[in-house]
Amino acid sequence: MHTFRKEIVINVAKEGQQERHERLAEVDRELLEVAAEKAAANGEFNGQLKALRKEQATILEVLQTGQEKVEVDCYEEIDERRLEILTRRVDTNDVLHEFTRPMTAEERQVCLPTGGEAA
């Protein structure tokens, strides 16, 4: 004999309905938990994607312009003759002209030692 399955409609007794109410509450809690886990995972993945896209954009800019932004150690030097504050690289001592600026009024008022003070 060959058997097979068919879906039919039956009436559910009150006891069966109560079991389904309890299971529905469990399913609702599980859905909330899974949704919270998904949101946390998405946040982590979105952070990774954002970092990779930023790196990608930086590399593309370098390839397009042939230039790269790097951080270098610097120090400031006062040019009293020009009344300017120069920014110099520590490693090469080169002046970074894009950061040279006029001295402020407060900076011009600072008394610098002349090296010839009497004892």
> Comparing 56-60, 77-81, 89-93, 108-112, which segment has the lowest mean pLDDT?
108-112
Can you tell me the distance from the alpha carbon of 107 to that of 75, in angstroms, rounded to the nearest whole number?
A: 16
Mean predicted lDDT score pLDDT of the chain: 89
- Closest by alpha carbon to 77, among 48, 100, 55, 61? 100
Tokens of 57: 């954009």
pLDDT per residue over 29-58, tens digit each?
Answer: 999 999 999 999 999 999 999 999 999 999
The pLDDT value recorded for residue 113 is 54
Position 112 confidence tier, pLDDT thresholds 50, 70, 90: low
Mean of pLDDT values over 9-34: 93
Mean of pLDDT values over 96-103: 93
* Residue 61 pLDDT greater than 80, yes or no: yes
DSSP assignment of the chain: ----------PPPHHHHHHHHHHHHHHHHHHHHHHHHHHHHHHHHHHHHHHHHHHHHHHHHHHHHS-------EEEEEETTTTEEEEEETTT--B-GGG-EEPPHHHHHPPPP-S----
